[in-house]
Amino acid sequence: VPVRIAGIPGSLREGSLNKKLINAASQIAKTISPTIEVEYVDIDSLPLINTDLVKNKKYPAEVEAFFNKLRSVDGILFASPEYNYSVAGPLKNAIDWASMERDVLKDKTAAIVSTGWDLGGARSQYHLRQIGIRPDIYFINSPEVFINENPPVFDSDGNLTDEDVRKKLKELLVSLNNFTLRLRPCRPFPWP
């Protein structure tokens, strides 16, 4: 059974670097053995969190679909833009929704790639790790992958052209794959 990873970009804009990074990671994953699959998971349609939208444990349809997608994977690859030294609001919003049902995030493994200016989004990574404590997400510690938005690492067609970034993304996925396989026997069986 392949390791199944949800690739979640933390930015909503169409030309998002982080969306491109998830797409690149999906392609790179195909070159890794044992097998790992990175499926792009959209957070664009999630409403802003408001518990008035939850009636008797019934969530808005987009939120339910997001829960079920996450329930079906072993782990998460976050691609996080840094906003004001932290994670961007849309990503925090998605995690806040997901944290409302215990089985959605508990015992997921996770890895982070981030983007930003001078430090490549590093500060957002440490906030993201903190956010993962309460929902019980297990982040891999290395490698740490920080990507400066300049100079560009994608061409105008959205292809990853920077070989160093490609190598780092592959190392990140291999590490996530290995850690997920180690943790998997501890997860309840059958997996959802």
Number of residues that bind ligand FNR (CB under 6 A): 16
* Residue 1 beta carbon to ligand FNR: minimum distance, rounded to whole angstroms: 31
Q: Which of 111, 112, 110, 120 is nearest to 153 (CA)?
A: 120
At 126, give phi and psi (nearest 5°). -75, -30
Which residue, 15 or 190, has its beta carbon nearer to ligand FNR? 15
Return the SS3 of 163. Answer: helix
* Residue 155 beta carbon to ligand FNR: minimum distance, rounded to whole angstroms: 15
Which position among 3, 16, 36, 128 is part of the footprint of ligand FNR (CB under 6 A)? Answer: 16
Classify each residue of 99-135 as buried b or exposed e, where b means 16 or more C-beta atoms within 10 Å of its C-beta: bbbeebbebbbbbbbbbbeeebbbbbbeebeebbeeb
* Residue 16 beta carbon to ligand FNR: minimum distance, rounded to whole angstroms: 3
Return the SS3 of 92. Answer: helix
Which residue, 10 or 75, has its beta carbon nearer to ligand FNR? 10
Which residue, 122 or 181, has its beta carbon nearer to ligand FNR? 122
* Residue 67 beta carbon to ligand FNR: minimum distance, rounded to whole angstroms: 24
Q: Which residues contact 126 (CB under 8 A, 6 or more apart)?
A: none
**Span 53-82, contacts to ligand FNR by CB under 6 A:** 81-82
- Residue 120 to residue 32: CA distance in whole angstroms: 25
Residue range at the interface with ligand FNR (CB under 6 A); choices 12-20, 45-53, 60-68, 155-163:
12-20
- Residue 13 to residue 60: CA distance in whole angstroms: 22
**Residues that bind ligand FNR in the complex, under the rule CB under 6 A:** 11, 13, 16-18, 81-85, 115-117, 119, 121, 149
